Amino acid sequence: MKGLEVTKALVESVADLRLDAVPEAARAVARHCVLDWFGCALAGSREPLSEILVGEIAAREPGESTLVGRAERSTLLTAALVNGAMSHALDFDDTHWTMNGHPSVPVVPALLALAEHEGSDGRAFLTAVVSGIEFECRLGALIGGPHYAAGFHATGTLGTFGAAAAASHLLGLDMDAWCNAIGLAGTQAAGLKSGFGTMAKPLHAGRAASNGLLAALLARGGFTGNPAIIETAQGFAATHAGGAIDRDRLARVGDRFLITETLFKYHASCYLTHAPIEAASSLRADGLQVDDIESVEVRGSTTCVGVCDIEEPMTGLQGKFSLRATTAMALLGDDTSDPATFSDERMGDRELLAMRDRVVFTPEPGPATRATVVVRANGRELSAEADTGQPANDLDGQWAKLSAKFFALAKPIVGSESADALHSAVSGVEDLHSVRDLIALTRPAVRA
Phi and psi angles of residue 138, each rounded to the nearest 5 degrees, phi first: -70, -35
Phi and psi angles of residue 131, each rounded to the nearest 5 degrees, phi first: -60, -45
Are residues 95 and 142 located together in one domain of the fold?
yes
Band of the pLDDT at 448, cuts 50, 70, 90? very low
**H or E element, residue 190:** none
Write the CATH number for 320: 3.30.1330.120
Please name the residue ranges forming H helices in 15-153.
24-44, 48-56, 76-88, 104-118, 122-149
Single out the residue in 367, 387, 407 at which a domain terminates.
387
Mean pLDDT across the chain: 95
Range of the domain at 172: 5-264+394-442
**Mean pLDDT, residues 269-273 taken together:** 95
In a domain, 447, yes or no: no
Q: Which conformational region is residue 386 in: left (phi greater than 0), alpha (psi within -120 to 50 degrees), or beta?
A: beta
Are residues 210 and 317 located together in one domain of the fold?
no
In a domain, 79, yes or no: yes
In a domain, 399, yes or no: yes
Are residues 240 and 198 located together in one domain of the fold?
yes
Residue 213, pLDDT > 80, answer: yes
In a domain, 34, yes or no: yes
Helices (H), strands (E): how many in the chain? 19, 6
Residue 447, pLDDT > 70, answer: no
Are residues 284 and 252 located together in one domain of the fold?
no
In a domain, 225, yes or no: yes
Are residues 322 and 400 located together in one domain of the fold?
no
Count: domains in the chain: 2
Amino acid code (one letter) for 42: L
Single out the residue in 387, 413, 432 at which a domain terminates.
387
Are residues 369 and 427 located together in one domain of the fold?
no
Are residues 193 and 335 located together in one domain of the fold?
no
Are residues 193 and 111 located together in one domain of the fold?
yes
Are residues 191 and 163 located together in one domain of the fold?
yes
In a domain, 448, yes or no: no
DSSP track, 169-185: HHHT--HHHHHHHHHHH
Amino acid code (one letter) for 232: T
Per-residue confidence (pLDDT) for residue 245, from 0 to 100: 87
Per-residue confidence (pLDDT) for residue 253, from 0 to 100: 84
Are residues 72 and 159 located together in one domain of the fold?
yes
Are residues 383 and 403 located together in one domain of the fold?
no
**Mean pLDDT, residues 358-376 taken together:** 95
Write the CATH number for 36: 1.10.4100.10
Per-residue confidence (pLDDT) for residue 1, from 0 to 100: 36
Are residues 318 and 222 located together in one domain of the fold?
no
How far is Cα 115 from Cα 191, in angstroms, rounded to an integer? 26
Angle at 184 (CA atoms; ends 16, 4), nearest 5 degrees:
60
